[in-house]
Structure 1
Amino acid sequence: MEVKLKKKLIRRSIRKEFNGWWAISLIGATVILLPILFVFSSLFFKPNENWFHIREYLLGTYVKETLLLVFSTGVLTAVLGVTLAWLVTAYDFPLKRFFRWGLILPLAIPPYIAAYTYRTMLSYTGIVQATLRNEFDYQMNPEWLNISSLRGAIFIFTLFLYPYVFLITRAFLEHQSASFFENARLLGRKPFSIFIKVVLPLSRPAIVGGVVLVIYEVLSDYGVTSYFGIHTITTAIFQTWFGMYDVNTAMRLAAWLMLIVVGMFIIERLLRSRQRYHLPAKSRPLAAMKLKRFSAAAAFTYCFAVFSVGFLIPFVQLIAWTALTFDEVWNDTFFTLVYQTLYVAFISTLLIMILAVIVANVCRKQSAFSYFLAKWVTTGYSIPGAIVAIGVLALFIGLDERLAPLYAMMGMEDAPLILSLSIVMLIVGYVIRFMATGYNAIEVGFEKIGTKYTEASRVLGQGVTKTFFKVDLPLVKGAIFSGFILTFVEICKELPLALLLRPFNFETLSTKTYQFAKDERIHEASVSSLIIIAISMLSIIVLQMINKKVKE
């Protein structure tokens, strides 16, 4: 009798916990993970002749250039991001407050826009070489400034992705105890020795976290690598899809790229698995040391040079090009382009935030399953956009094949592909790719408010749903807003997913900018580029507002 009573209580507890919130979360998580698993499953099917040709003659080059690009960019962004973060945290010099947020601005310029801007500026007819010839009568070897190469791609990625390392490392250092650095100074350590012996070891988790984000962005990129003619696995996926019209081989390439990403993720976790970095119970933040004369001038020059090359110069050049072509580009067709971009971004972001709120609310109850559910729904951000696009396309084509009899019954025999030619496919791709952005913002919001208000409401007899709408939602509305803005901006900038999954005759600002650049219509591309940059700067403003509130 006692055993039966226990089983009954367990079943009742399960039914009570497994409500509509759990059901929606599991359905959403399945939709997110299914295309990724679909890509991975391609490794277990028999390959075709195209795959054997690629494996024999091309795959080695793809893997070599991908790894070289990732390694070089990772090292250089780490060097640039960490040194800048240490300067603006530990020292006081002219315009330091400006550089604290100004050095984040390169993140507002997508790398593919920076690539065509710098390539044009440094070309034979560009402003740099033309000025040297016309104003200084100096003829430069054009090859010296040719960045259409692996070296040029590393230059672009380093300059426009280092803010990931800078942001995370700066935030980490600002919360470190001053005693570590002051004790090193008392022991006679010089500034460079303190940086090498103290700052770098302490900042290792932040540095690794920032570099991993950079690597994900490099692996996801298609705009820079294709524009510069670099053979990476991502460009191979596009070429196989659009050049050979071979989805199966493209899926197999995507699966191998995904294995590389998963391998790097596992290695990163293993490297940090036993590392613990705890602050003293009562810690005092580091006070900035005022620099004088040469040291202050050197710090200012370094920060200003990075800011200029990473944001100011390309931004001013884009404004100059926009002035030349604004009247030509700014018309009804361009308004339609802007509307389509904002429309699909709004719908996708709205769906992401709704699902993110539901899943985050479910995962507030700490358990092994909620932990895996949170990791499950945020998987897409660490997977390159090309892989997500391949998985979504293959899945939707499969759905259309299964629904073909239904289409025939509805009198659509001549149009068997309905879902895979619709905007729904693009929206699903965005939801999978950027769910992590919305979810992380909501998760932070729930962590800040805790569970005491929710528990009080439940004790008073309110249900889960009523408690959420009456208590939790008003408290996390700020996190929802910031998550909405950040996700919206990321979707507006996204290029690989839009190129691969958009319907016919459907363009976004990013795809149109890329097409203008590919057609060497650089001046026309500047208008849409500036709009993307303006939208991107919203995310930086939101980040600064969030950081300010956290400090307060």
Structure 2
Amino acid sequence: MPRTNSPVALPGAVAVALLVLLPVLVLTGHALLADASHWSHLMDYVLPQALRNTALLLLGTGVLVAFLGTGSAWLVTVYDFPGRGVLAWALLLPLAVPTYIVAFAYLDLLHPIGPVQTALRALLGYDSPRQFRLPDLRSLQGAVFVLGFVLYPYVYLTTRVMFMSQAASLLEAARTLGASRAEVFREVALPLARPAIAVGMSLALLETLNDIGASEFLGVQTLTVAVYTTWITRSDLGGAAQIALAMLCIVVGLIALERHARRRQRFANTQRMRPMQPRRLRGAAAWAALLLGAVPVVLGFVVPTAYLAAQTFKRLNQMGGVSSQLLRALGNTLLVAATATLLAVACGLMLAWAGRALRESARPSLPRICVRAASLGYAVPGTVLAIGLLTPLLLADRALGQVLGHSGLLLMGTTAALVIAYVIRFVAIPAGSIEAGLTRIPPSLEQASRLLGEGPAGTLRRVHLPLLKPALAASALLVFVDTMKELPATLLLRPLNFDTLATWLYAEAARGTYEEGAVAALAIVVAGLLPVILLARTGMGQPAKNTSQIGL
């Protein structure tokens, strides 16, 4: 029995696709139609430095996340040592901490008069920062350090799954032919894991390109920071659109490069593949492995989180509680995150349901392209998305004002604009998760439902939705936490006097009031732990983001 679709699913999927593509099309139009003087100014004073910093930041972060993620994945997969079970899931913990929060923590920790350098000077017998100080964290190298130790779990997650699925017979054959353990890793395991490494690196680099808080805190003028300052400081929409278009070209380049890197690779697994058995380490080698594997966890999660907890405790003791402004920011965060999550999951369900029928039909290619395009929002940086939404939101406000006889702003400058941006940016997550859940439901269940007289909508409600509850819950959790952490789009589209936890932290860091900002940062970290726990409980069988849904 062929699968049929709800009459609402395909038109809804096309509408979501158009909503996702609209900001990109508008942004391109703004950039191309802007005054040519913008281009000359940008080419002379803005783009060279911003492009150089962005390229070096992407290069340094890519190398560091590949090294940390691949090395830690190989360590906990191939070797058995005390604490390996805890370390296997603890290596995911940096995913819970946004990059700008880690930068915020390390800026205070490593300040010339901060606790780390003060203790070092006391230990070495120095009295003043003029006599001894560590290299300044506010640098390109500091940004690479922060981003690398926070984003390496993307590579670790995808690569460990690949290592766990490799056949032991291949590695044993290499050892039988005389290859050393290092050669087995370099010549056999690493080439087989290359697609997973490429996917993880691509996700990490997309996050790097989207970052604004860490780069600005650390004084690195990237393209993302340039977009924000051009729009907010100079009110130059054309210039901001042109810089954003340059960012979008880099995004397309990253995706094309990743696909080109593995265009000729083909892999086949036997049905009765025997997984590799970890080699038992003892004595000094076991403790060295544990120490080596713990370094990324300590630097990427334990140190900044412990700092935030200490500063939060200090703030609550001094002030006797949390400020009313921070509580209001928390309420705002929960409101917009919950609203965006509900809408994103609904849109993702519609996309997955429409795409499910389209895959088995002989429909024209345009609907297929629309369903696929609707999931590209995650690849678009938040600043690019926000700039591209400005004009459509203003035009929509004018149209609604004429229809409703309302002269004020209904979308632009309200929380509705934030919710729309969040849905566009994160709809790929529920779409991919629900699509994966649908593939695990046997067609016979739907056929039985249809034979009993249920239509497509009734089958979805009574058969598929109950079976999709785990996928729906997991995707909703991921969208909710990502929405809480989103900073670039929120900074550009939030209403006046409207703060979320992320923007509150950004403002406090700009003012240097670290104790107040630590409370908001710790709340975001605690929320971010939820999807990490979910990944650990599911055995890390699925990546945090469905990379097939963002063009990777």
- TM-score scaled to structure 2, two decimals? 0.92
Shift of 1:17: 5.7
The 1:354–1:469 alpha-carbon spacing in structure 2 relative to 1, beyond 3 Å, is same
Return the letter of the residue paired with 1:435. Answer: V
In structure 2, how many angstroms separate the alpha carbons of the residues matched to 1:127 and 1:46?
49
Shift of 1:318: 1.2
Residue correspondence of structure 1 range 129-208 to structure 2 within 5 A? 129-138=117-126, 144-208=134-198
The aligned counterpart of 1:34 is: 22
Retained in 1: the 8 A contact 2:92–2:532? yes
Retained in 1: the 8 A contact 2:167–2:274? yes
1:315 corresponds to which of 299, 302, 305: 305
Residue correspondence of structure 1 range 467-486 to structure 2 within 5 A? 467-486=459-478
Alpha-carbon RMSD = 2.0
Shift of 1:49: 3.2
2:60 corresponds to which of 68, 72, 75: 72
Return the letter of the residue paired with 1:52. Answer: S
Retained in 2: the 8 A contact 1:122–1:145? no
Return the letter of the residue paired with 2:478. Answer: L
Q: 1:397 aligned to 2:394?
A: yes
In structure 1, how many angstroms separate the alpha carbons of the residues matched to 2:515 and 2:243?
35
1:514 corresponds to which of 491, 506, 517: 506
Q: 1:302 aligned to 2:299?
A: no
The aligned counterpart of 1:533 is: 525
In structure 2, how many angstroms separate the alpha carbons of the residues matched to 1:285 and 1:374?
36
Retained in 2: the 8 A contact 1:322–1:523? yes
Structure 1 residues 323-355: Cα deviation after superposition (integer angstroms, max 9, x where no partner): 111253613332222111011000000000011
Retained in 2: the 8 A contact 1:48–1:249? no
In structure 1, how many angstroms separate the alpha carbons of the residues matched to 2:39 and 2:399?
26
The aligned counterpart of 1:263 is: 253
The aligned counterpart of 1:127 is: 115
SS state at 2:134 partner: helix
Shift of 1:258: 0.5
Structure 1 residues 266-310: Cα deviation after superposition (integer angstroms, max 9, x where no partner): 222122222112212210111110012232122111012222111
Long gaps (5+) in structure 1:
1-12
In structure 2, how many angstroms separate the alpha carbons of the residues matched to 1:296 and 1:519?
46
Retained in 2: the 8 A contact 1:356–1:438? yes
The aligned counterpart of 1:89 is: 77
Structure 1 residues 361-402: Cα deviation after superposition (integer angstroms, max 9, x where no partner): 111121555642342111110111111111112211233345
Shift of 1:255: 1.3
The 1:264–1:453 alpha-carbon spacing in structure 2 relative to 1, beyond 3 Å, is same
Q: 1:496 aligned to 2:493?
A: no
| Greater Cα shift, 208-217 or 262-271 | 262-271
Return the letter of the residue paired with 2:149. Answer: L
The aligned counterpart of 1:111 is: 99
Retained in 1: the 8 A contact 2:326–2:504? no
The aligned counterpart of 1:10 is: none
Structure 1 residues 74-112: Cα deviation after superposition (integer angstroms, max 9, x where no partner): 111101100100000010011000100001111111111
Structure 1 residues 109-141: Cα deviation after superposition (integer angstroms, max 9, x where no partner): 111111021111111111111112334424676
Shift of 1:458: 2.3
Retained in 1: the 8 A contact 2:38–2:238? no
| Greater Cα shift, 394-403 or 269-278 | 394-403
The 1:299–1:256 alpha-carbon spacing in structure 2 relative to 1, beyond 3 Å, is same
Retained in 1: the 8 A contact 2:80–2:279? yes
Shift of 1:424: 0.7
Shift of 1:161: 0.3
In structure 2, how many angstroms separate the alpha carbons of the residues matched to 1:253 and 1:451?
48
Retained in 2: the 8 A contact 1:362–1:370? no
Retained in 2: the 8 A contact 1:77–1:165? yes
In structure 1, how many angstroms separate the alpha carbons of the residues matched to 2:513 and 2:506?
10
2:274 corresponds to which of 268, 277, 284: 284
Return the letter of the residue paired with 2:396. Answer: L
In structure 1, how many angstroms separate the alpha carbons of the residues matched to 2:421 and 2:474?
21
The aligned counterpart of 2:550 is: none
Retained in 1: the 8 A contact 2:14–2:371? no
In structure 1, how many angstroms separate the alpha carbons of the residues matched to 2:304 and 2:399?
49
Q: 1:243 aligned to 2:243?
A: no
Shift of 1:178: 0.8
The aligned counterpart of 2:341 is: 349
The 1:388–1:549 alpha-carbon spacing in structure 2 relative to 1, beyond 3 Å, is closer
Shift of 1:215: 0.6
Residue correspondence of structure 1 range 17-32 to structure 2 within 5 A? 19-32=7-20
Retained in 1: the 8 A contact 2:34–2:238? no
In structure 2, how many angstroms separate the alpha carbons of the residues matched to 1:233 and 1:59?
8
| Greater Cα shift, 541-550 or 240-249 | 541-550
In structure 1, how many angstroms separate the alpha carbons of the residues matched to 2:487 and 2:394?
22
In structure 2, how many angstroms separate the alpha carbons of the residues matched to 1:293 and 1:370?
60
The 1:17–1:484 alpha-carbon spacing in structure 2 relative to 1, beyond 3 Å, is closer
By relative contact order (CA 8 Å, sep 6+), the higher-ranking structure is 2
Return the letter of the residue paired with 1:498. Answer: T
SS state at 1:164 partner: helix
The aligned counterpart of 2:373 is: 376
In structure 1, how many angstroms separate the alpha carbons of the residues matched to 2:352 and 2:537?
22
The aligned counterpart of 2:546 is: none
Identity %: 35
Structure 1 residues 385-433: Cα deviation after superposition (integer angstroms, max 9, x where no partner): 11111111221123334556557x44x3xx4x44211111000000001
In structure 2, how many angstroms separate the alpha carbons of the residues matched to 1:534 and 1:33?
33
- TM-score scaled to structure 1, two decimals? 0.92
In structure 1, how many angstroms separate the alpha carbons of the residues matched to 2:352 and 2:312?
43
The 1:162–1:469 alpha-carbon spacing in structure 2 relative to 1, beyond 3 Å, is same
Shift of 1:253: 1.3
Retained in 2: the 8 A contact 1:495–1:510? yes
In structure 1, how many angstroms separate the alpha carbons of the residues matched to 2:6 and 2:346?
19
Long gaps (5+) in structure 2:
543-552
Structure 1 residues 494-525: Cα deviation after superposition (integer angstroms, max 9, x where no partner): 11111111111111001101111111111111
The 1:157–1:280 alpha-carbon spacing in structure 2 relative to 1, beyond 3 Å, is same
Q: 1:338 aligned to 2:335?
A: no
Retained in 2: the 8 A contact 1:485–1:542? no
Q: How many residues align?
A: 532
Return the letter of the residue paired with 1:258. Answer: L
The aligned counterpart of 1:52 is: 40
SS state at 1:194 partner: helix
The aligned counterpart of 1:7 is: none
In structure 1, how many angstroms separate the alpha carbons of the residues matched to 2:181 and 2:148?
25
